[in-house]
């Protein structure tokens, strides 16, 4: 059963409306793009769409309660929800430094979750 | 009174890039004054990615982008004062500021760079009728709560305005477990980047309702819902289309306003369209030796452009302080926003300051147009022309002009930036 999917190309402000006909995982046709980048975008979006996920993790004894993190590389789009579950399970000890690995090999993807900002340790506060 | 060669007001991406460039160009004595408790400006709450593709050639998050410039500031030993609020700038280039260690103090500067950024338009500026319950925030405030302080502003959310911060927050709140019911946009098109519409709304099946606005808010203590209605071509709500949408949170992403109270007090001429200072091609304002860059000059969509523009301001301030290439201010070419163009930056070009090979004019179009040409014209002479399949007000446009061609324009003449069509409108 062929399936039709409509995409908006994100490569430039033109934002071509691209129509893709799919038969399961096989692409039958791609229409509506105006340049090669549009074709490549449509192909990738229909076969293996990926996204970089950015969020925050809880921090213990830091000057701020959360630290910003990201997936080091884009991960398959279907894993975003599970990725968020992993991130929300984390609690790291301050200090957090930019580039610190927070989760290794996220969900077996081979991609790490890393810190994208610094959260220094809070001094002079009673750890509660 | 303390004397400093260059005072940079604001330690966000604009201020840092300007300060670093000025020091690189030979100004020894640079001081950054920053209101917040860290350098980085608004990038500190931008945990999302998409920064740096143009400037660094790689995709970074906002904080990572800021960190690169904070490192440069540290490596070059540029001093900065945090939690320091500038109260006044005099046209004689005195800067009065206050902080909790020094109290109120005044610095005499040879040159000043304005890099104060912008702030969000609020509900008050929109005049949405209804009660005054809690649960109504600007998108940027909500972003700060979630990304820096780690708490959620609400559970079910309507977003008014499809600016980039609103789109980014739609995704962010969804990922953190809130239900984002819709994004309403008064105009027939979004002012946000296409990438954000796809990756922040479409990915999560959040509806974007174009030609829709919030006409009333409901709830006494906490927001209980909003009334959403479609608008006609004159942007007037159509009463029959009004619909009650239950929600506990309303986010506003309805535009940014350059923060120019200090500029106004200093007697700097402001452009009523950009709400920023009128600047020449070196980013110098109407007051000699005071420069402006970044979102205080005009609101940018990409920080990469802010960095480039601010480096130009930093270099120009360095030349002013060191007495290199300082132009005669009387000989100017006026840059005019012509047909289909909302504004240009710079608004004027000083003829004797054409020391670089090219001059870049940044501008925004007034509406969405297809199959047009963007042109720079002086009289009947077209200096540059570029074809575009589509232009939108949400994406800043650029034309690069050869200084050689500009030198041939007489002082006092107009350089018109305009949109030309081949009969086919939008």
pLDDT tens for each residue of chain A, 128 residues long = 788 888 888 887 677 889 999 988 889 999 999 889 889 999 999 988 999 999 999 999 999 999 999 999 999 999 999 999 999 999 999 999 999 999 999 999 999 999 999 999 998 655 44
pLDDT of residue A125: 52
Nearest Cβ partner for A54 among B61, B198, B391: B61
- The strand pair at A26-31 and B208-210 is best described as unpaired
What is the three-class DSSP state of B28?
coil
Buried-exposed string B135-151: b where 16+ CB fall within 10 A, e elsewhere? bbbbbbbbbbebbbebe
Q: Which residues in chain B have Cβ-Cβ distances shorter than 8 Å to A58?
A: 150
C-alpha closest to that of A28 among A45, A11, A43: A43
- A80, closest residue in chain B (CA to CA): B175
pLDDT of residue B352: 79
pLDDT of residue B1: 86
Taking an 8 Å cut-off on Cβ atoms, the answer to whether A13 and B148 are in contact is no
By the CB < 8 Å criterion, does B174 face chain A?
no
Chain A closest-CA separation from residue B426 CA (Å): 13
Is the domain B327-426 a CATH 3.40.50 member? no
Taking an 8 Å cut-off on Cβ atoms, the answer to whether A66 and B150 are in contact is yes
Taking an 8 Å cut-off on Cβ atoms, the answer to whether A84 and B175 are in contact is yes
- B60, closest residue in chain A (CA to CA): A116
Taking an 8 Å cut-off on Cβ atoms, the answer to whether B175 and A14 are in contact is no
Taking an 8 Å cut-off on Cβ atoms, the answer to whether A70 and B47 are in contact is yes
By the CB < 8 Å criterion, does A120 face chain B?
no
By the CB < 8 Å criterion, does A79 face chain B?
no
Cβ-Cβ contacts under 8 Å for B192 (sequence gap 6 or more): B162, B163, B164, B166, B167, B394
Chain A closest-CA separation from residue B151 CA (Å): 9
What is the three-class DSSP state of B280?
strand
* CA A93 distance to own-chain centroid: 24
Domain boundaries, chain A: 3-47, 54-115
Chain A closest-CA separation from residue B223 CA (Å): 26
pTM for the structure as a whole: 0.93
Q: Which of B45, B61, B199, B395 has the most A C-beta neighbours within 10 Å, making it the best mutation to test the interface with A? A: B61
By the CB < 8 Å criterion, does A10 face chain B?
yes
Q: Which residues in chain B have Cβ-Cβ distances shorter than 8 Å to A54?
A: 47-49, 61
Is the domain A54-115 a CATH 3.10.530.10 member? yes
Q: Residue A93's beta-bridge partner residues?
A: A60
- The strand pair at B156-160 and B179-185 is best described as parallel
Chain B closest-CA separation from residue A99 CA (Å): 9
pLDDT of residue B154: 97
* CA B365 distance to own-chain centroid: 16
Taking an 8 Å cut-off on Cβ atoms, the answer to whether A13 and B203 are in contact is no
Domain boundaries, chain B: 1-119+256-326, 122-254, 327-426
pLDDT of residue B426: 40
Tens digits of residue pLDDT in B92-138? 999 999 999 999 999 999 999 999 999 999 877 667 878 889 999 99
Give the separation between CA B54 and CA B395, rounded to whole angstroms: 15
Q: Do A49 and A55 meet the contact criterion of CB atoms below 8 Å apart?
A: no
Nearest Cβ partner for B49 among A13, A54, A98: A54
Q: Which residues in chain A have Cβ-Cβ distances shorter than 8 Å to B49?
A: 52, 54, 70
Taking an 8 Å cut-off on Cβ atoms, the answer to whether B147 and A68 are in contact is yes
- Decide whether B1-119+256-326 matches B122-254 in CATH topology: yes
Q: Which residue has the tokens 């949400």?
A: B394
Q: Do B201 and B167 meet the contact criterion of CB atoms below 8 Å apart?
A: yes
Please give the radius of gyration of chain B, using alpha carbons only, rounded to the nearest integer.
22
Counting one residue from chain A and one from chain B, the pairs whose CB atoms sit within 8 A come to: 74
Q: Domain B1-119+256-326, what fold?
A: FAD/NAD(P)-binding domain (3.50.50)
- A56, closest residue in chain B (CA to CA): B147
- B61, closest residue in chain A (CA to CA): A116
Residue A17, number of CB atoms within 10 A of its CB: 13
The superfamily in CATH containing domain B122-254 is FAD/NAD(P)-binding domain (3.50.50.60)
Give the separation between CA B39 and CA B260, rounded to whole angstroms: 20
By the CB < 8 Å criterion, does A8 face chain B?
yes
C-alpha closest to that of B403 among B282, B298, B283, B302: B282
Please report the ipTM that was assigned to this predicted complex.
Answer: 0.89
- A11, closest residue in chain B (CA to CA): B195
User: What parts of chain B have a pLDDT lower than 50?
Assistant: 424-426
DSSP string, B144-200: HHHHTS---S-SEEEEE--SHHHHHHHHHHHHTT-EEEEEEESSSS-SS-HHHIIII
Taking an 8 Å cut-off on Cβ atoms, the answer to whether A8 and B198 are in contact is yes
Q: Which residues in chain B have Cβ-Cβ distances shorter than 8 Å to A51?
A: 199, 203
Alpha carbon distances (Å) from A90 to A93, B69, B171, B259, B354:
10, 29, 20, 39, 55
């Amino acid at each position: 059963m062929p399936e039709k999917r409509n995409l908006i190309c994100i490569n430039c402000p033109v934002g071509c409306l691209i129509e893709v006909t799919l038969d399961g995982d096989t692409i039958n046709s791609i229409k509506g793009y105006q340049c090669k980048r549009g074709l490549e975008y449509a192909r990738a979006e229909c076969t293996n769409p990926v996204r970089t996920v950015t969020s925050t993790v809880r921090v213990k004894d830091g000057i701020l309660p959360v630290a910003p993190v990201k997936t080091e590389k884009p991960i398959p789009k279907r894993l975003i929800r599970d990725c968020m579950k992993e991130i929300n399970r984390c609690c790291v000890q301050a200090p957090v430094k930019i580039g610190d690995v927070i989760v290794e090999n996220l969900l077996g993807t081979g991609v790490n979750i890393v810190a994208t900002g610094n959260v220094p340790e809070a001094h002079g506060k009673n750890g509660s | 009174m303390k004397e400093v060669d260059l005072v940079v007001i604001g330690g966000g991406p604009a201020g840092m890039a300007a300060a670093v460039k000025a020091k690189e160009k030979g100004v020894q004595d640079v001081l950054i004054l920053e209101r917040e408790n860290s350098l980085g400006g608004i990038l500190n709450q931008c945990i999302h990615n998409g920064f740096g593709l143009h400037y660094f050639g790689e995709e970074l998050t906002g904080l990572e982008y800021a960190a690169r410039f904070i490192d440069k500031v540290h490596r070059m030993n540029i001093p900065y004062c945090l939690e320091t609020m500038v109260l006044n700038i005099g046209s004689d280039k005195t800067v009065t500021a206050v902080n909790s260690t020094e109290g109120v103090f005044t610095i005499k500067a040879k040159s000043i760079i304005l890099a104060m950024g912008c702030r969000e338009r609020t509900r008050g500026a929109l005049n949405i009728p209804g009660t005054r319950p809690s649960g109504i925030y600007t998108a940027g405030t909500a972003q700060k709560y979630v990304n820096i302080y780690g708490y959620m502003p609400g559970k079910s959310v309507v977003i008014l305005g499809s600016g980039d911060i609103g789109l980014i927050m739609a995704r962010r709140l969804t990922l953190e477990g809130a239900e984002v019911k819709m994004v309403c946009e008064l105009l027939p098109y979004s002012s946000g980047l296409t990438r954000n519409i796809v990756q922040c709304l479409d990915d999560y099946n959040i509806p974007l309702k174009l030609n829709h606005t919030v006409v009333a808010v409901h709830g006494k203590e906490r927001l209980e819902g909003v009334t959403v209605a479609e608008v006609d071509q004159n942007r007037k709500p159509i009463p029959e289309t009004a619909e009650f949408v239950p929600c506990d949170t309303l986010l506003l992403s309805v535009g940014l306003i350059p923060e120019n109270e200090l500029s106004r007090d200093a007697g700097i001429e402001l452009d009523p369209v950009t709400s920023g200072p009128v600047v020449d091609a070196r980013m110098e304002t109407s007051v000699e030796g005071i420069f402006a860059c970044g979102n205080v000059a005009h609101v940018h969509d990409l920080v990469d452009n802010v960095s480039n523009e601010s480096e130009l301001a930093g270099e120009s301030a360095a030349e002013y302080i060191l007495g290199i290439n300082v132009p005669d201010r009387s000989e100017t070419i006026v840059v005019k926003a012509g047909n289909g163009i909302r504004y240009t930056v710079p608004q004027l070009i000083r003829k004797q300051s054409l020391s670089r090979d090219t001059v870049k004019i940044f501008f925004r179009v007034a509406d969405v147009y297809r199959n047009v040409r963007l042109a720079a014209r002086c009289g009947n002479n077209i200096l540059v022309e570029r074809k575009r399949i589509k232009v939108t007000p949400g994406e800043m446009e650029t034309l690069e002009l050869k200084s050689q061609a500009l030198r041939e324009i007489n002082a006092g003449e107009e350089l018109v930036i305009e949109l030309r069509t081949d009969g086919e409108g939008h």
